[in-house]
Structure 1
Amino acid sequence: MAPRPQVIPHRRASSDSSADEQTLCEQTSDDEGYDGRPSGELSEGDHDILESEDERERLLTQKDGISGMFGKGLSGVKIGKRDKVEMKERRKGGNDESSALMYEMEEGIGGASSTSLRSSRSSQSDEQRLHAVRSQRKARRNGLWRRLCIYISIIVLFVVLLSASYRLSTPKDSAAVVNMISNGTSLFAPTTILISLDGFRADFLYRNITPTLNQFIQEGISPKYMRPSFPSVTFPNHYTMATGMYPEAHGVVGNSFWDPTLEKEFFYTDPERSLQSHWWGGEPIWVTAEKQNVRTAVHMWPGSEAHILDQDIAYVDKYNGSELLHIKVNRIMDLLDVPGPKDIGVNADTPRPQLIAAYVPNVDGDGHQYGPNSTEIRQTIANADAMLGDILKGLHKRNLTNIVNVVVVSDHGMATTDVTRLIQLEDLIDPAELSHIDGWPLYGLRPKNISDLDRLYSQLKAKSNDNPNIEVYLRDEDMPEHYHFSKNERIAPLWIVPKTGWAIVTKNEFDVEEGKRRGDVYHPRGLHGYDHEHPLMRAIFIARGPAFPHMPGSLMEPFQNIELYNIVCDSIGLEPAPNNGTLRLPLKPVGHHNDPAGSNETPEDPVPQNSLPPTSASSSPSLATMSVGLDSLSSIAASASGLEDTSPSIDDTILRPTPPNVVSEVPPAQTSGKGKSLWEWLTHKVDEVEDWVEGLVHEHVSGQDKDSDASEGS
């Protein structure tokens, strides 16, 4: 410890010494914490400095208190307390500075100099403290933005989790989740693929060219056939399947028809005359689904482009008759691959559909062009079968075989046509008396003068008595009840309905007499539109999937296609709109397709003519090109003369492929060579039956056939 300085009494006792000098002369020990100034005393300069610092601290504390509301602790009060502690420390430091100044004065530094130095050091200290405060505020601001970003991220995440929890907790959504099934990578709500094979006749399944469809029958449930609705043409039946309503109820009563109220014509191949919503009544299944928040994809289904009931559909593919089958398969698979409602990456603008309805026109197109018994149609049928196989493979690859329902249907069958089964409209009625002709191959007639209706009906009825191959009906009087084809003004008042396999043509379409004389082949080679209950008009229905939990290969009773709408609605949990159907899921099996009693029925095509008996089974290449009518006639003549019948049978004509450039059915006037000589020989050898043969020809063979037979026999 340093030695104590000696006390000089005369300085301490001098009364002329100033207070400061007296203070400087007073000493105390280091242990007493002497700070160079009596307790509680400060100079005026120190007071000014402290007041200035207090004022600055108050201002800084107020500003920091505002920004500190978002800082640590979320309160400006706590920051103020910390600042006060710092202020006290600075004040203590200020006292130390005063002590140093007193020591300098004791060493001989003047009072004015010490005041200037003190002010200079005080200013420098203030600048340093201000710089430190500014740096601290800047650091606080940077920290504030970082904390704000973190808080906002936490809030957003919390809202997302809360929304998801709410969705899962609502009863409606909970039920939907319960009904969803996982394929291992995604959850699938009830989903159905509906495929229509236009023109696929029910007995096409019995030709050993449809392995996929036949296996599909063994895996699902189906009747032997499904009945179309009358008239058995494409647009009315596809819209009936879509609505569950008879054509008379939904208003699309044909592929072409006249609306007397609108005074407009509907024509199915012209979008300008068919794709307006006012033509399409009822509620199709794609509208029903979308109204109930079930997303739908419709691929080329007739009527889907008409924007019916102003309802938007998730996916609508426009008709393209030349689209390749594998493109359709890819389209269906792509729709199934869209993220589902519970998947990451789901997009409300491109949802996964629960209903996919696809239309396939190939079988119908080739059936018209080549005929339902042609070599070409066999390949087309096989191609359609392979397309279905690719769809089923795609489902298997995605582990969706037991998750997605698949329903395969057709709209109608088809019958073979021939020039010998044509009826000239002009031979039945004068077209000049008609204002409109609807439909085809059946004809709906609208007289120019409604007062002529009864007369024209009586005229046609009399001619139908002489020609058993047509039926004549008045819409409001004797239209068959099972047609369900009378309760709509779009249905013409007078109808000529040909028997299955026959067709009515106008002369500008096909001159029957001239065609027979030249040996022309009538096109189309296949037709439909006849009585919907005829075996050749039968369609198909086959279903498989979780909505059809039946024993594989289950057989059910045949039903009409008005039932399809309810079945598909039930398969994806929709509430059907009012319709004519009554059948609901689950379907009721009545047996198994492999039961011995369940034989497959193959109807005759061409349909045997009413007045001609069936031919024998023998055949001869020399007469292979003769028509069915001539086959029957020569068979009768041969039986009467005791000679062997050398004409081909109907079955031989059907089963034996015909080269593309060979006419399969030629009228009698076009035969020559051995065939012609044989006919002359036969007619001379059977004089005893000549009158009978001529009477038969006059009654059942057209005029050209009759003239030809007479010339051959002369």
Structure 2
Amino acid sequence: MRSELLVLVLVVGAAGKPLSRAQTDGKKLLLVSFDGFRWDYDQDVDTPNMDQLVQDGVKAKYVTPPFLTMTSPSHFTTITGRWVEDHEVVHNMMFNTTTNLKVPHKKTLTRSEWWDNGPLPLWITAQNQGLKTASYYFPGGGANYGGQSVNRVLVEESGHPDDNETEWRQNIDTVMSWFAEEDFDLVTLYYGEPDNVGHAKGPDHPDRKQIIRQIDRTIGYLREAIGRHGLNDSLNVIITSDHGMTTVKKRPEVDEIILNKYLNLLQLASFEILDYGGFGILTPRPGKEQEVYDALSNAPNLTVYRKHQMPQSFHLAHSQRLPPIVVVADLGFNLNSRFIVYVNKGDHGYHNGEMDMKMIFRAFGPSFRRNLLFPPFDSIHTYPLMCKLLGIQPALHNGSLSVTQSMLLPHDGSKQLRVSSVLLLISILRMFFS
């Protein structure tokens, strides 16, 4: 007994003080999202810092967002690993089909009743396993989940400018201090560009290229800040998005899809959101579902679905929150319920199979391979990858680590060295006491 105790004391002494769960099983993780960064936006712009990431880490050809290709649904799929029909954040707008409530996107960011539907986001799962987490403007971070909140949260206010490069750098400095000085394990950081420019000017406008250059400079600043804070050996970084962007077709080339031409919305529908890019939803009045479906089936440049008959690949049919009729416009066509003035020159919300809806994925850090061009994958699989990087057990999710596992180095060399040293010491002590 005495010799066994001595072995235990010596082993602990050789290995140093007992390591925390996070130190033993995982490293720190920064998840950065650039809203509306289409998969090919860096291909017609000089982006030296993003190009360097290809050599220093992993670049996926593209990532397929979930359908719906909108900010809130897609971000919540990334952070929960659940399809939209499971996490039930089914639109950017918070709505209630009974009361006709409609809350715009940024007003929903602290409305827990919109986000808290059972599936746990990564922040909460990580906190429940002893990690410290933070959300910097990331959609969903400002809500409570079963009464639990993220350790530290900053929520972007309505009207806040999204394109201030100086502020972008200040945000990075803040996040780096959280990691380096306060020992946070997971931080999610959100930027509202290039989505705003894509909407206002269109994906082909020179201003879109300018904001991509700004993003590239910001990524360069991020890498510099990581080194300045001594985090190169402990911080993994994933840079991604939520959806792409496409040019909205305009007159005189095409006619806008004004659905009131094909059915009397006031008489046949009790609730609608039909002026939101390429995606629309509505609740027919009692007994009118077939009439609404038939009328919309005659409208050009769109596809109408009964919710329960939607393709399985959409992962929307089992949603309890989504209204019974879903309308999806052909790529670039804008849905309009009546005659609302629509000014966007670019938009999203279209079928996630369209290449214009695909998004970026870059990753680098001590756990990632270098100079790896990775095949396309669905964003649902990012969640188990993040859990692996953090060394935590994932909550129930729809993704698979097998899809992204090969991005990672086969083992953590420093951890392996510690284990080998301990095993060697045990063998020596056994020989001594035998």
User: What corresponds to 2:87 in structure 1?
Assistant: 250
Q: Equivalent of 1:176, from 17, 20, 41?
A: 20
Is 1:445 the counterpart of 2:277 in the alignment? Answer: no
Is 1:377 the counterpart of 2:208 in the alignment? Answer: yes
- Distance in 1 between the 2:304 and 2:403 partners? 39
Task: Indicate the SS of the match to 2:338.
Answer: coil
Contact 2:202–2:345 (8 Å) recurs in 1: yes
Q: How does 1:19-58 map to 2 (within 5 A)?
A: none
Q: How does 1:582-597 map to 2 (within 5 A)?
A: 582-584=400-402, 587-588=405-406
User: What corresponds to 1:402 in structure 2?
Assistant: 233
Relative to structure 1, the CA distance from residue 325 to residue 314 in structure 2 (aligned partners, 3 Å threshold; closer, same or farther) is: farther
TM-score for the superposition, normalised by structure 1: 0.51
Which structure dedicates a bigger proportion of its chain to helix? 1
Task: After TM superposition, give the deviation of residue 354 of structure 1 in Å.
Answer: 1.1
Task: After TM superposition, give the deviation of residue 237 of structure 1 in Å.
Answer: 0.4
TM-score for the superposition, normalised by structure 2: 0.82
Q: Equivalent of 2:149, from 301, 312, 315?
A: 312
Contact 1:257–1:491 (8 Å) recurs in 2: no
Contact 1:266–1:274 (8 Å) recurs in 2: no
Q: Equivalent of 1:289, from 126, 141, 146?
A: 126
For residues 90-143 of structure 1, the C-alpha deviation after alignment (integer angstroms, 9 at most, x for no partner) is xxxxxxxxxxxxxxxxxxxxxxxxxxxxxxxxxxxxxxxxxxxxxxxxxxxxxx
Q: Equivalent of 2:383, from 560, 565, 577?
A: 565
Which structure dedicates a bigger proportion of its chain to strand? 2
262-271 vs 527-536, which moves further: 262-271
Is 1:326 the counterpart of 2:161 in the alignment? Answer: no
Task: After TM superposition, give the deviation of residue 177 of structure 1 in Å.
Answer: 8.2
Relative to structure 1, the CA distance from residue 358 to residue 274 in structure 2 (aligned partners, 3 Å threshold; closer, same or farther) is: closer
Relative to structure 1, the CA distance from residue 504 to residue 403 in structure 2 (aligned partners, 3 Å threshold; closer, same or farther) is: same
Relative to structure 1, the CA distance from residue 274 to residue 216 in structure 2 (aligned partners, 3 Å threshold; closer, same or farther) is: closer
- Distance in 2 between the 1:270 and 1:545 partners? 32
Task: After TM superposition, give the deviation of residue 275 of structure 1 in Å.
Answer: 2.7
User: What corresponds to 2:270 in structure 1?
Assistant: 435
For residues 637-665 of structure 1, the C-alpha deviation after alignment (integer angstroms, 9 at most, x for no partner) is xxxxxxxxxxxxxxxxxxxxxxxxxxxxx
- Distance in 2 between the 1:270 and 1:586 partners? 32
Q: How does 1:558-707 map to 2 (within 5 A)?
A: 558-584=376-402, 587-588=405-406
Q: How many residues are matched?
A: 386
Q: Equivalent of 1:267, from 103, 110, 134?
A: 103
Counterpart residue identity of residue 65, structure 2: P
- Distance in 2 between the 1:172 and 1:585 partners? 36
User: What corresponds to 1:540 in structure 2?
Assistant: 360
Relative to structure 1, the CA distance from residue 427 to residue 326 in structure 2 (aligned partners, 3 Å threshold; closer, same or farther) is: same
Query: Radius of gyration: which is bigger?
Result: 1
Task: After TM superposition, give the deviation of residue 507 of structure 1 in Å.
Answer: 3.3
- Distance in 1 between the 2:23 and 2:140 partners? 31
- Distance in 2 between the 1:566 and 1:335 partners? 23
Q: How does 1:518-533 map to 2 (within 5 A)?
A: 523-533=343-353
Counterpart residue identity of residue 401, structure 2: L
User: What corresponds to 2:194 in structure 1?
Assistant: 363
Relative to structure 1, the CA distance from residue 485 to residue 586 in structure 2 (aligned partners, 3 Å threshold; closer, same or farther) is: closer
Task: After TM superposition, give the deviation of residue 569 of structure 1 in Å.
Answer: 1.4
User: What corresponds to 1:140 in structure 2?
Assistant: none
Task: Indicate the SS of the match to 1:436.
Answer: strand
- Distance in 2 between the 1:199 and 1:362 partners? 7
- Distance in 2 between the 1:328 and 1:412 partners? 21
Task: Give runs of ≥4 in structure 1 deviating > 6 Å.
Answer: none
Task: After TM superposition, give the deviation of residue 584 of structure 1 in Å.
Answer: 4.9
Q: How does 1:39-438 map to 2 (within 5 A)?
A: 174-176=18-20, 179=23, 190-256=27-93, 258-259=95-96, 263=99, 265=101, 267-269=103-105, 271=107, 275-280=110-115, 281=117, 282-320=119-157, 321-322=160-161, 324-338=164-178, 351-420=182-251, 421=254, 422-432=256-266, 433-438=268-273
Which sections of structure 2, spanning at least 5 residues, go unmatched?
1-8, 409-434
For residues 519-545 of structure 1, the C-alpha deviation after alignment (integer angstroms, 9 at most, x for no partner) is xxx510100000011100000111111
Task: After TM superposition, give the deviation of residue 368 of structure 1 in Å.
Answer: 0.5
- Distance in 2 between the 1:382 and 1:172 partners? 46
For residues 156-185 of structure 1, the C-alpha deviation after alignment (integer angstroms, 9 at most, x for no partner) is xxxxxxxxx9xx88x99724389379xxxx
Contact 1:425–1:504 (8 Å) recurs in 2: yes
Task: Indicate the SS of the match to 2:356.
Answer: helix
CA RMSD, Structure 1 to Structure 2 (Å): 2.7
Is 1:556 the counterpart of 2:374 in the alignment? Answer: yes
Counterpart residue identity of residue 174, structure 1: P
Counterpart residue identity of residue 161, structure 2: S
For residues 5-43 of structure 1, the C-alpha deviation after alignment (integer angstroms, 9 at most, x for no partner) is xxxxxxxxxxxxxxxxxxxxxxxxxxxxxxxxxxxxxxx
Q: RCO higher in 1 or 2 (8 Å CA, sep ≥ 6)?
A: 2
Task: Indicate the SS of the match to 1:302.
Answer: coil
Contact 1:413–1:536 (8 Å) recurs in 2: yes
For residues 43-89 of structure 1, the C-alpha deviation after alignment (integer angstroms, 9 at most, x for no partner) is xxxxxxxxxxxxxxxxxxxxxxxxxxxxxxxxxxxxxxxxxxxxxxx
- Distance in 2 between the 1:523 and 1:172 partners? 63
For residues 371-422 of structure 1, the C-alpha deviation after alignment (integer angstroms, 9 at most, x for no partner) is 1100111111111111111010111223322331111001000000132342
- Distance in 1 between the 2:22 and 2:113 partners? 40
- Distance in 2 between the 1:418 and 1:290 partners? 46
Counterpart residue identity of residue 335, structure 2: I
- Distance in 2 between the 1:337 and 1:275 partners? 25
Task: After TM superposition, give the deviation of residue 297 of structure 1 in Å.
Answer: 1.5
Task: After TM superposition, give the deviation of residue 434 of structure 1 in Å.
Answer: 1.0
Relative to structure 1, the CA distance from residue 496 to residue 312 in structure 2 (aligned partners, 3 Å threshold; closer, same or farther) is: closer
Counterpart residue identity of residue 413, structure 1: G
Task: Indicate the SS of the match to 1:485.
Answer: coil
Is 1:459 the counterpart of 2:279 in the alignment? Answer: no
Task: Indicate the SS of the match to 1:199.
Answer: coil
Relative to structure 1, the CA distance from residue 423 to residue 312 in structure 2 (aligned partners, 3 Å threshold; closer, same or farther) is: closer
Contact 1:259–1:489 (8 Å) recurs in 2: no
Relative to structure 1, the CA distance from residue 455 to residue 257 in structure 2 (aligned partners, 3 Å threshold; closer, same or farther) is: farther
